[in-house]
Amino acid sequence: MKTEPPAFRLRWPHYLLAAAVYGALLLAWAPASLMTGLAAERLPGVRFAQVQGSFWNGRADAAVTLGAQPVAARLTWRFRPSELLTGGLGYAVRMETLDATQAAADGIVRLGPGRVALRQVQARAMLSWLLRFDPAFANLPFGGELNVASDALQLSRTAIEGTARVDWSDARFARHALGRHRIEAVGEGAALALRLRTLDGPLDLDGAGAWRLTGELRFAGTARARPGARGLDEVLKWLGPERNGAHAFRFPR
C-alpha cells in the first residue's frame, strides 16, 4: 500500500524568506531620492535637487546653508558592501562646491543605529571663501587654505569619538605671511577638545578650547611674533590686547 507524501504547507521560515527577498528587491530598485530623503532628515540645513541614480550609487545637487547664504554643491555616493561587516551601511561620499577650487570633501560614511561613523576623511576650503558667510568676519583680510583630515570619527546624539586635525596652510593676513598652524581635535564625551599650535612661520599661536554637540564653540589662546618677525602689529592688535609680550584672544570675542 502506497503512502501519500505529506501535503506541502507554508510555515514561518517560508514567510520570513519571502519577506527578506521582497525587502532586498525593494532596496535593489530603491531610487536615489530615498538616500537624499534620509540625509535631509538628519541634515536640516541641506536641500537636494536633480537627484539621479539609486540608493546605492547616485548623485545630486545640494544647497547647503552656511550662515545666511546657501552654497551650491555636488554630492556623489557609492555603496561599499565591505562596510556591512562593521555593522552599518557604508558609502564612499564626495561633495564639492560648483567651483571646486573653493571647497571639497570626501571620505567613507557609515550609517548605523543612532550614529554616524566617518573614516579616511579629507576636506579642504579656502579661508577667505568661508569667512564671507559670517558678516562679522566677511571683511577680514585673512587668507590661506584649511585642510581637514580624520582617520576615524564617530558621532552620536550624546558623544563624539575619534580624532581629527585642521591645518591652516599658507596663512596670511593682508600681505603678511603667517606660516602654518594646526588644530588637533580629540573626542571627549559630548565635545571635541581642541588644541592649537604653530607648525612654522613668524606668528606663534597657542590655544585650547572645545566644540560641543550643541554647536557651542569656546576657544582662547595667545599670539606673539617670533624673534625677527616684522609686519605683524596689525594682526596682533586685532587678535587681542597685549600682556607680557603676548596678545590674548578668545572666541566668542
- What's the CA gap between 194 and 189, in Å, rounded? 13
95: in domain: no
96: in domain: no
236: in domain: yes
Domain total for the chain? Answer: 1
38: in domain: no
User: 152-179 pLDDT, tens per residue?
Assistant: 999 888 899 999 999 999 999 988 899 9
- Name the one residue in this structure whose C-alpha cell is 579656502: 126
User: 212-238 pLDDT, tens per residue?
Assistant: 988 889 999 999 999 888 889 989 998
User: 77-123 pLDDT, tens per residue?
Assistant: 998 887 776 667 789 999 998 887 889 999 999 877 778 889 999 99
- pLDDT score at 213: 86
User: 47-75 pLDDT, tens per residue?
Assistant: 888 999 888 889 999 888 776 677 889 99
Torsion of Cα atoms, 35 then 36 then 37 then 42, to 10°: 100
> Looking at residues 1-11, what average pLDDT do you find?
53
Sequence-separated (6 or more) residues with CB below 8 Å from residue 119: 107, 108, 110, 150, 151, 152, 153
- pLDDT score at 61: 92
34: in domain: no
151: in domain: yes
Domain hosting 118: range is 114-251
9: in domain: no
Whole-structure pTM value: 0.82
168: in domain: yes
- What's the CA gap between 16 and 81, in Å, rounded? 23
Sequence-separated (6 or more) residues with CB below 8 Å from residue 95: 62, 73, 74, 75, 76, 104, 105, 106
